[in-house]
Amino acid sequence: MIASPADQAIVRAHHEEWARVVAGLTRRFGDLDLAEDAAAEAFVAAVERWPRDGVPPNPGAWLTTTAARKAIDRLRRESHREHKHQAAHMLSDDTPPEPTGPVEDDRLRLVFTCCHPALAMEARVALTLRMLGGLTVAEIAHAFLVPPATMAQRITRAKAKIKAAHIPFRAPSATDIRERLAGVLAVIYLIFNEGYLATAGEASLRVDLTEEAIRLGRLLRSLFPDEGEVTGLLALMLLADARRAARFTRSGELVTLDEQDRGAWSRDLIIEGHALVRERIAAVAAGAKPPGRYQLLAAINAVHTDASSSGDTDWSQIVALYDRLIEIEPSPIVRLNRAIAVAELHGPDKALAEIDELSETLDSYHAYHAARADLLRRVGRSEDSRTAYDRALRLAGNPGERAYLDRRRRQLVW
């Protein structure tokens, strides 16, 4: 069934305007729950009115105005919040906005407020993905590799913590911003990944999320041009996004890095990303602190995007970069990615021995079984490879990934 123009406009507006509406309401009313509920009510109103009355010329402005009215109406109905009603009344459309301090963008400011140190790191990230990215609980759970019920409880507890601790939604000071920077970077990268890895149920990229993450990354770099990890994250996202057009076939099947048409990669994004990586290399050589996670991941992506083919890739440099990354982040997924590079440098047997050591910790991770299936295929263990592909297919949540895995399974020699 083809969606109507009004339905398409509502979906597009949710992708493009949700964060603006919620962030603006949060700044105006200082209440996260109220902002989220009023924004949701505005979109319900859009579903009811736009098909009948037509899509407004400026959907974002319509949603913002409608949401603000919904918020004021709710405050008026709740007598125990009369003081907030009066404060809201004073903030009429003719009232100049309050000073925003060092963070001038409402959406970026919302990221920092959701990343308050009173919240656990995973709660900060989950709450911001919900409030800023507009992701559903199921989508956030997929990004965290946890059940949806667990994620719903996590978000609920985060909101309860905000209320109990009276955490204010205001522009943070420059000191606060620097203290919360690591959490903000994690948030932005997860927003990017949720779009880059495609949404569950659709073999398509959430371009709105990847572009929003990159936009926030650029804004963050303008605020902190000398912070290496800020630059590293922006470079990483640019180099990954450069491959967007080559990541799926026309039928929606995932295309892995070694099979991608490198002529379809965005040269402009690659050039920009490489320039940022070189900038950080020069800074470290001049005495800046050693590179962190995002700078090392950006450097790995720079090596990949510098090669004309998978065979021309400098795999020894990639393994060396992963070795440095493991020193600061010895996670199973980093070790898995290093093993995949080891396979190209030293052969699949050595990589398989390393990857099998991760079986207990990564057994529920589909990419582990997909990588293991490929290594088993390369060493001629077709039956074991088939079993690993079956496991990967059961765990994969994206149709494009499942199509790729199914094709590779069918290509095995019986």
Residue-wise pLDDT tens digits, 319-330: 999 999 999 999
d(CA 235, CA 297): 9
Tell me the pLDDT band of 58, cut-offs 50, 70 and 90: very high
Is the pLDDT assigned to residue 206 strictly greater than 70?
Answer: no
Average pLDDT of the segment spanning 188-194: 85
Mean per-residue pLDDT, 160-181: 74
Lowest average pLDDT, out of 17-31, 250-264, 309-323, 349-363, goes to: 17-31
* Residue 93: predicted pLDDT: 46
Q: Hey, how many other C-beta atoms are within 10 angstroms of the C-beta on 188? A: 29
Mean model confidence pLDDT for the chain:
86
CATH number belonging to domain 1-92: 1.10.1740
Question: Residue 377 — pLDDT band, cuts 50, 70, 90?
Answer: very high
How far is residue 55's CA from residue 51's CA, in Å, rounded to a whole number? 7
Flag the least confident range among 47-56, 91-100, 185-194. 91-100
Instruction: Give the model confidence (pLDDT) of 82-91 as tens digits.
Output: 555 555 544 4
Residues 310, 315, 317, 321: what is their CA dihedral angle, to the nearest 10 degrees? 100
Segment 223-256, tens digit of pLDDT = 889 999 999 999 999 999 999 999 989 888 999 9
CA 394, 395, 401, 405 dihedral sign is: negative
Mean pLDDT, residues 155-181 taken together? 77
Q: What is the pLDDT of residue 111?
A: 78
Nearest Cα neighbor of 203 from 261, 248, 242 is 248
Domains of the chain by residue range: 1-92
Quick check: 193 pLDDT over 70?
A: yes
Kindly state the percentage of the chain with pLDDT values over 90. 54
Which is more confidently placed, 112 or 282? 282
SS (H, E, C) the chain: CCCCHHHHHHHHHHHHHHHHHHHHHHHHHCCHHHHHHHHHHHHHHHHHHHHHHCCCCCHHHHHHHHHHHHHHHHHHHCHHHHHHHHHHHHCCCCCCCCCCCCCCCHHHHHHHHHCCCCCCHHHHHHHHHHHCCCCCHHHHHHHHCCCHHHHHHHHHHHHHHHHHHCCCCCCCCHHHHHHCHHHHHHHHHHHHHHHHCCCCCCCCCCHHHHHHHHHHHHHHHHHCCCCHHHHHHHHHHHHHHCCHHHCECCCCCECCHHHCCHHHCCHHHHHHHHHHHHHHHHHHHCCCCCCCHHHHHHHHHHHHHHCCCCCCCCHHHHHHHHHHHHHHCCCHHHHHHHHHHHHHHHCHHHHHHHHHCCCCCCCCCHHHHHHHHHHHHHCCCHHHHHHHHHHHHHHCCCHHHHHHHHHHHHCCCC
Question: Which pair of tokens denotes residue 209?
Answer: 């999320």
Q: Which two tokens stand for residue 239?
A: 């180099």
85 CB contacts (<8 Å, ≥6 apart)? 72, 75, 76, 78
Does residue 201 carry a pLDDT above 50?
Answer: no
pLDDT at 127: 85
Read off the tokens for 6: 């009004």
Arithmetic mean of pLDDT, 380-402: 93
Report how far residue 104's alpha carbon sits from residue 86's, in angstroms, rounded to the nearest whole number: 25
pLDDT, residue 82, reads: 54
User: pLDDT at position 321, please?
Assistant: 98
Chain segment 19-44, per-residue pLDDT in tens: 889 989 988 887 888 888 899 999 99
pLDDT of residue 88: 52
283-301 residue pLDDT tens = 999 999 999 999 999 999 9
pLDDT digits (tens, 9 = 90+) for 64-78: 999 999 999 988 887
How confident is the model at residue 276, as a pLDDT?
98
Residue 403, φ and ψ in degrees, nearest 5? -60, -40
Give the tens place of pLDDT for each residue, 89-114: 444 444 444 444 445 578 777 877 78
Residue 69: both structure tokens together = 């009215």
**Which of 96-100, 207-211, 303-307 has the largest mean confidence?**
303-307
CA distance 214 to 300: 19
